Every structure is written in structure tokens, then in C-alpha cells.
Amino acid sequence: MIIYEFLADGFEEVEALAPVDLLHRAKFHVITVGIGGRTVTSSHGVCIEADLAEQDINLEQNPPEMVILPGGMPGTRNLEASATVKKAVMLCAHNGGYLAAICAAPSVLGHWGLLAGHEAICSPGYEQELHCEKISNSPVVQSGRVITAKGAGVAVDFGLKLVETLCGEQKSQDIRKSIQCV
């Protein structure tokens, strides 16, 4: 399965790394893609080296089956400004893949019209940007092939929901137990 997570300067570290870690525990390889280059700096000044720079991604040869967008500012706006991110998200959506976004990043999906007819959640203050059917009361929500989450405090739950979606509830529960989640 081809899973891309896009990282842009100003991303939120926990929201980016928790899903990658949990999917790796479930034996999926997540390809991190740096917008503007392989080295990306978080909103708190932490530098991360992505697997690929955006110019090295070949979406035609390796189309995404899941795309993950972490939040953070200005990371979310930097993701939205990237033609590569938009192309990957739209390709994934049109091919029936999974779209996952946390914190402010669900607003990107909303701006691109991908939350119409869906229930979604985001960081407080971005609700009007979702343009979705219903704002969820849950911190993590799956609506069809779209998974959204409220913010950094639920990044592990978000990652476990991705595992559950791809592997089933038992695998997600096993990983939850192994990492000592309450």
C-alpha cells in the first residue's frame, strides 16, 4: 500500500510522527514527503528529514492509496499552497483512497471540496473552513474514506484509527495495548 504523509515547514511534530510510528508498528511503510525539500522544520523548530522531496515524488508511477496531512501553522497553509499536495490528494480521492487530516489540516480538504457530504472534525476555529455535512463531536472521526482529528492531543488516537481502518480493530487494539495507552 502506498501511503504518503506530506510535511511542510511549520508542521506539528506530534500530529506528523504519531501516525507514521503507529502505521509502521502495523507493518505499513509511510513515505514522508517534504514540501520545498527533504529537510522540513516544524512549528517548534524541530528539523525532520523526509524520505523524499516533493520534486522526487512520482504520483503517476506510485499513486497514493492514503494521504496524511498533519496540522500546525503555518504548515497547513504551506501544504495547501503546494501543487504536489493537491495533485496527490485529488488523485487519492478520485481513485478511492483514504484521506487523513488532523488539527487545521482538515480545512485543506474542505477548501478543495473533499468534505462535502462527510462528517469531520478539526482544531477549534477552523470549523467554517470544512464545508462538510456535519461537524463531529468526536475527537477522531471516520466518514467513508475520510479520517479527521481535532489536534495534537489525539494524535495517537488518530494514528490508531488509521491502523484500524487498514488492518481492523483487533490490530489497532493490540498496538494500543503494546504502547501502554489507557
pLDDT class of 21 with cuts at 50, 70, 90: very high
Whether 182 shows a pLDDT value over 90: the answer reads: no
| This prediction's pTM | 0.97
pLDDT class of 76 with cuts at 50, 70, 90: very high
Burial of 182 (0-12, 13-18, 19+ CB in 10 A): exposed
**What CATH number has the domain bearing residue 53?**
3.40.50.880
Query: 142-172: per-residue pLDDT in tens?
Result: 999 999 999 999 999 999 999 999 999 999 9
Tell me what pLDDT residue 61 has.
94
Whether 181 shows a pLDDT value over 90: the answer reads: no
Identify the CA nearest to 179 among candidates 152, 151, 159: 159
β-bridge partners, 3: 30, 66
Structural domain count of the chain: 1
Which domain covers residue 59, as residue numbers? 3-178
How high is the mean pLDDT of the chain? 97
**159 C-beta neighbours (distance < 10 Å), count:** 31
Q: Are 26 and 107 in contact (CB under 8 A)?
A: no
Q: 49: part of which helix (H) or strand (E)?
A: strand 47-49
Q: Are 121 and 104 in contact (CB under 8 A)?
A: no
Q: Are 108 and 71 in contact (CB under 8 A)?
A: no
